[in-house]
């Protein structure tokens, strides 16, 4: 996967995510690259990798939203129930 620059990743701070991920996930490296899979007015979806492993990261879109729009906790509950 080609690495994107930090400027190309709206709403994703790779430095902060890398610091957290390397402390929370055994074997994860702090140097990450990412690719925006989907964006726009939908929840943002990224493929993130440290060169060895990869993860999917989702977040609400950047900007002003209604409080109930793009509810990530509702999405998590639905995905957990489906699992």
Read off the pTM. Answer: 0.68
Residue 59 belongs to some domain of the structure: yes
Closest among 45, 42, 17, 11 to 32, alpha carbons compared: 17
HSE (CB half, 13 Å, CA atoms) of 11?
A: 18
How confident is the prediction along the chain (83 residues), in pLDDT tens digits per residue? 444 444 468 789 999 999 999 999 999 998 999 998 876 667 788 999 999 999 999 887 777 766 666 567 777 787 788 87
Query: Does 1 fall in a domain?
Result: no
Considering the domain boundaries, does residue 28 fall inside one? Answer: yes
Residue 55 belongs to some domain of the structure: yes
In a domain, 13, yes or no: yes
**Which residues constitute the domain of residue 43?**
6-82
Structural domain includes residue 65: yes
DSSP the chain: -PPPPGGGSTT--HHHHHHHHHHHSTT--S--EEEEEE-TTSPEEEEEE-SS-EEEEEEPPSS---TTTT-HHHHHHHHHHH-
Contact predicate 28/49, CB 8 Å = no
How many domains does the chain fold into? 1
């Amino acid at each position: 996967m080609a690495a994107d620059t930090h400027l190309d990743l709206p709403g994703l701070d790779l430095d902060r995510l890398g610091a957290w991920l390397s402390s929370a996930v055994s074997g994860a490296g702090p140097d990450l690259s990412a690719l925006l899979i989907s964006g726009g007015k939908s929840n943002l979806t990224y493929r993130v990798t440290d060169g060895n492993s990869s993860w999917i990261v989702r977040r609400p879109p950047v900007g002003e939203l209604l409080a109930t729009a793009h509810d990530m906790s509702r999405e998590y509950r639905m995905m957990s129930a489906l699992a």
